[in-house]
A and B are shown apart, each in its own frame.
Chain A
Amino acid sequence: MKLFLQRTVGVVPREGEAETSAVHLSRFAWRPLVLGLLVVLGVSLLATAKGAVNVPPMTVAKIVASRLPLVDISPAWPSSWEAIVWDIRLPRVVVAGLVGMSLAMAGGTFQGLFRNPLADPYLIGVASGAGLAATVVMVSPIPLSLYGISLLPPMAFLGALMAVSLAYGLARVGGAVPTTTLILAGVAISFLASAVTTFLMLHVSPDVRPVLTWLLGGLSGSGWQRVAWILPYIIPCLLVIMAHGRVLNVLQLDEEQAQQLGINVERTKVMLIAAASLATAAAVSVSGMIGFVGLMAPHVVRLIWGPDYRFLLPMACVVGATLLMGSDLLARTVISPEEVPVGVITAFFGAPFFLYLLRQKKGMVF
């Protein structure tokens, strides 16, 4: 109750900025967000430092800083450390953070848009479309890479977008896309794509392991090239989605009420589905299917800080990024030199924590 008052009062503009104020995050919301960003920085530093070779975190910070423009630090570390930190670990940590962010954001968007607490980023066919496209590339004579650049992410990306577009097109009735029809069409297309994927894997490909490894999800082999590949998609999508925070709050009513309150519901749905699907497709294209982050991160925020999407969306990004970077660190260190699939870690630690939260705040989940 008290929190709410602060929340409300927090959006009240000061004198003189009455009309120009575009505060959509209240002052109350900044503290956990800033704290969360610090945690993200801490975890990424730790994740970059730890591994088969442990580099002191201070040295990691120095190596990273020395790469920044206008910073002049003379290297006082072995060049192998520099290669490990800059070329191998840091890009992987960054990809983990970006993927975690995207999945959390897309999951939160779909949960809000469909008013369905079980919605996750893969709900309307993104993952299975990507999986099918990746499998086709692997079993067909198409080369896996061109000029040294892997073709897998772009192809998976295209497959994901095709699956979502197909689901969206099939669910269209007149000018509107009923939510239930869209989910059903998405699920049906997912099953179809998975069936074809399985068939191709078992009957065409002599070796199913590369496909299977990719499908299971993981971040190994992430380099700066992958960061460059997904960043142009993820950043605009995240901005579009975050700008819709208040609109998503109103959409928590049913669509008729939202329309009566002046929201152009169909246009908003198109925008948000496109942005969330694009972000998910980008994430899936570099990391395969990583479960649980997209479902859980938004719920964790909702359970702890309440349902306001203006705060929920950015905070879910922070939680998702932290969760996936931490999980990936564990995934590659627990039974090193072997790697555990990162999805196993997210589920193993995420699920009990989530259940604990659920027990703490029964009845306030959605």
Chain B
Amino acid sequence: MLQIADLRFAYGDRPVLRGLSLEAREGEVVAVVGPNGSGKSTLLKVISGLLKPGCGEVRWGGRDLLSLPPRERARLVGVVPQAPHLPESFTALELVLMGRTPYLGFLQGERKLDLDVALRAMEMTGTQGLAHQPVGELSGGERQRVLIARALAQETPLLLLDEPTASLDIAYQVAILDTVRAIQGRRGGAILVAIHDLTLAAQYCHRIVLLKDGVCYAQGTPQEVLTRENVLEGYGAQVCILEHPISGMPVVLPVPGAAGADGDGAH
């Protein structure tokens, strides 16, 4: 179980996380939502060890993630970054094999085991057909799935996805999130997804955590969190909430011309 307690982080003297606490249990897909600047990306960077928080705790199953060396942490936390730089002439399989880095000794080459894990990860994300294509020739959605495969090859109990559907068309958005749900069925552990699209979050995630100004403003099931009042308070945006005719989950609809006095709700 991921336990985050009273996490605080500031860029210089600009605080971004102000005592954030949240939990994610084994088997859950948890969406982290919130307006721009609410601390979603910062939260993921703290969990994955890129940023050192001022204070607070991040634990996985009782182990303190913040004090682990990078190699140990990379066996517990896998990350699918948002729009990362990728070396174009490496092939997709070579990229996925890089997910095995935390398991390889300094002078060790990839073993048969590593190749098997990488190929299984590609099969789970439906990218095995792309294995020998240079990364530079992949489409946005294909890159995203290859990156998910790389994080899967890391075999970590905790998986973090930063805006996995950003800048993808609706077919790819659905494909990516279907993949996320499917892989969650085949592995234990928890998945944390930072995501902007509230409707998509509601359809695919077991729980939603709404961040505002660096603290957790609301958390619970999609029905509990995605209410008209919460969205108005959290984002300063007027919306209608409907029920999805098939999934029964909330659907968040914008209301034209109703931008509140709070503007786009950034602060």
Contact = CB atoms under 8 A, between A and B. Distances in A.
Contact of A24 (B48, B88, B107): B107
B262 interface: no
A5 B94 CA distance: 11
Given A250-B98, A306-B89, A307-B90, A260 B109 contact: no
Contact of B87 (A18, A247, A262, A307): A307
Interface in B119-136: 132, 134, 136
Contact of B84 (A13, A253, A262): A253
Interface in A24-78: 24-26
Interface residues of B, number: 45
Contacts, number: 111
A12 B111 CA distance: 5
Contacts of A142: none
Interface stretch (B1-9, B70-78, B179-187, B231-239): B70-78
Interface residues of A, number: 41
Best-surrounded residue of A25, A260, A263 (most CB of chain B within 10 A): A260
A34 B109 CA distance: 20
B87 A4 contact: no
A26 to B, nearest CB: 7
A262 B75 contact: yes
A246 B85 contact: no
Interface string B89-105: 11101100111011011
A116 interface: no
Contact of B112 (A18, A24, A247): A18
Interface of B: 45, 48-50, 69-75, 77-79, 81, 84-91, 93-94, 97-99, 101-102, 104-113, 115, 132, 134, 136, 154
10 contacts: A4-B93, A5-B132, A12-B115, A13-B111, A18-B111, A253-B86, A256-B84, A261-B74, A263-B70, A264-B70
Given A249-B90, A250-B98, A366-B87, 15 more contacts: A12-B115, A23-B109, A24-B109, A243-B107, A246-B104, A250-B101, A252-B90, A253-B85, A256-B81, A257-B81, A257-B84, A260-B74, A260-B81, A261-B99, A263-B70
